[in-house]
Structure formats: structure tokens, C-alpha cells
Amino acid sequence: MTTISNSSVLRCSQCGSELILVSEKITKLEEFSAPIKTKVYKCSNEECQKDIDKKTSSRIKLLKQQEQAKENRIKAKVGLRLNKNKILR
Ligand SMILES: [Zn+2]
């Protein structure tokens, strides 16, 4: 007898342990766009999950830094434009 359950089990890409479904949420980006289903998985290997959490938080930190840098660039551009207008007048 063959079991099909094995193929439906998701494995962690880091350690190969089974992944546990933590939550499932449906997000809609725009009012008329199709909703996107997001599944959040957790590694059943505690040590591995800790490592993933660490990586995730550092990635979020990096993203925030990039966002801040982008904002600063936009602010600098606006300042430049204002200066130009002053010169033109
Ligand atoms: Zn893992």
C-alpha cells in the first residue's frame, strides 16, 4: 500500500524537518484584486525555528533601514526642487 500523505508534508528547506501550519490569512491588496492566501509555517525543529526567527528579524531590520534611506532620498529631492524654484524666481 502506498501512502500519499508523505508528498503533502512540507519540509523545512533549512533542516528537512516537517513544517507545522501556524496560521492562514487572506489578504487583499486592492479592492478589486483577487485575495491572496498566505500560509505561515513553523519548523518543527525548535533550534532551526529559532535560527529562522533570528534571520527574519534581521531581514525586517534591513527592510526598515532601506525604507528609511528611500524616504531620506525623497526628502532630499523635494528640497532640491524647492531650491530650484527659488532660483527660477
Ligand atoms: Zn527547519
Mind listing the pLDDT tens digit for each residue in 32-67? 888 989 999 999 999 999 999 999 999 999 999 999
Per this entry, what is the length of the chain?
Answer: 89
Ligand 1 ion: residues within 5 Å (CB): 12, 14-15, 17, 43, 45, 48
What is the structure's pLDDT at 79? 80
Helix (H) or strand (E) holding 22: strand 19-27
> What is the SS3 assignment for 25-83?
EEECCCCCCCCEEEEEEEECCHHHHHHHHHHHHHHHHHHHHHHHHHHHHHHHHHHHHHH
* Residue 17 confidence (pLDDT) above 70: yes
CA 40 / ligand 1 centre spacing (Å): 14
Q: Given the C-alpha cell 505561515, which residue does it identify?
A: 40
